[in-house]
Amino acid sequence: MPIVHEDAGFVDRPSTSNQPTLEVTNLSFAYPDGHQALFDVSLAIGAGEKVALVGPNGAGKSTLMLHLNGLLSGDGTLAVAGLPIAKENLPLIRSKVGMVFQNPDDQLFSPTVFDDVAFGPLHMGYPEDEVRQRVGKALSQVGMADFEQRLSHHLSIGQKKRVAIATVLSMDPEILVLDEPSAGLDPRARRSLINLLRELPLTMLISTHDMLLVQELFPRMIVMDEGCVVADGETAVLLQDTQFLEAHGLEMPVPTVGHTR
């Protein structure tokens, strides 16, 4: 059975948030093959909050995220920016939630990088000039400004990941839901992603195994294990509880001192 962490408590949300921007209540979900991936998950994220979602492989992080723009639908209630996730609200919800999938190949489907990043703004009916400007800005935000005419499916994994992030930035979303955005990035790209996420004044839920990223960027973290939320609290508090981290397959990397032969 998953362990519920009792000490961390629930974090006070910033005073800017009267109403949660992301609200999940008693969500349970089983895949069509019968595998139950989420058990009674509840969480609420206020406007402008930056929250990390962590937990071991198979914990249910991606499954939860796919519910946040209606790609999966389980039992329970979900609301985004005050809108219940229901079929009639999905177009509006998808324009507000920028979702980056764990696998960039699920996100990139156009011939060129430009087309992929332009897809959202074009779909929203922006004029050509604005689409070009949005694509240029989003690609430079992820350090891929020179890649507009490259073929998306020929990029390296880290480059694909960066373009996948640009495909949502070009939509100017209110909420970012990023599934392991730093996986596969080189140190420089990872650093500029951290700086970008720090500067963007958006509500964020970001799943990651990169605990240093969590420590650096997210005051609050939600821990999932075996389909349940096992803790939701202050990162600084939770990261000090080595027993708790160990129980859920998490650990802070130990800094190495030099290299010995």
Residues lying near ligand ATP in the complex (CB under 6 A) are found at 31, 33, 35, 37, 55, 57-63, 102
Q: Which of 17, 30, 48, 62 binds Mg ion (CB under 5 A)?
A: 62
**Which residue minimizes CB distance to Mg ion?**
62
Q: Report the residue number, 81 or 222, with the smaller CB distance to Mg ion.
A: 222
Considering the complex, state which of residue 36 and residue 149 has its C-beta at the smaller distance from ligand ATP. 36
Distance CA 29, CA 73 (A): 7
Shortest CB 68 distance to ligand ATP, Å? 12
List beta partners, residue 100.
Answer: 178
Nearer of residues 117 and 238 to ligand ATP, judged by Cβ: 238
15 binds, among ligand ATP, Mg ion, none (CB under 5 to 8 A by kind): none
Q: Which amino acid is at 184?
A: G
Least separation in angstroms between residue 63's CB and ligand ATP is 3
> Closest separation between CB of residue 232 and ligand ATP, Å?
16
Looking at the Cβ atoms of 45 and 139, the one nearer to ligand ATP is 45
Which own/partner pairs from 65-70 qualify as long-range (CB within 8 Å, at least 24 positions apart)?
Answer: 65/99, 65/177, 65/179, 65/205, 65/207, 67/24, 67/27, 67/29, 67/38, 68/22, 68/24, 68/97, 68/99, 68/177, 68/205, 69/93, 69/94, 69/97, 69/99, 69/177, 70/94
Q: Measured from the CB atom, is 102 or 203 closer to Mg ion?
A: 102
* Least Å from the CB of residue 90 to ligand ATP: 20
CB 98 within 8 A of CB 204: no
Shortest Cβ distance from residue 155 to ligand ATP (Å)?
21
Rule CB under 5 A: say whether 102 interacts with Mg ion: yes
Q: Which of 84, 61, 229, 45 is closest to 76 using CA atoms?
A: 84
Q: Which is nearer to Mg ion, 60 or 98 (CB)?
A: 60
Characterize 126-139 residue by residue with b for buried, 16 or more Cβ atoms within 10 angstroms of its Cβ, and e for exposed: beeeebeebbeebb
- Shortest Å distance, C-beta 170 to Mg ion: 24
Q: Please list, in sequence order, all residues whose beta carbon lies within 8 angstroms of the beta carbon of residue 91, skipping any fewer than 6 positions away.
A: none
How far apart CA 143 and CA 150 sit, in angstroms, is: 14
Min dist CB 62 to Mg ion, Å, is 3
Q: Which does 33 bind (CB under 5 to 8 A by kind): Mg ion, ligand ATP, none?
A: ligand ATP
Which part of the chain contacts Mg ion (CB under 5 A), choosing from 4-12, 59-67, 130-138, 224-232? 59-67
235 binds, among Mg ion, ligand ATP, none (CB under 5 to 8 A by kind): none
- Separation of alpha carbons 218 and 225, rounded Å: 19
Residues 232 and 134: their CA atoms lie apart, in Å, by: 35
By CB under 5 A, name the binding residues for Mg ion. Answer: 61-62, 102
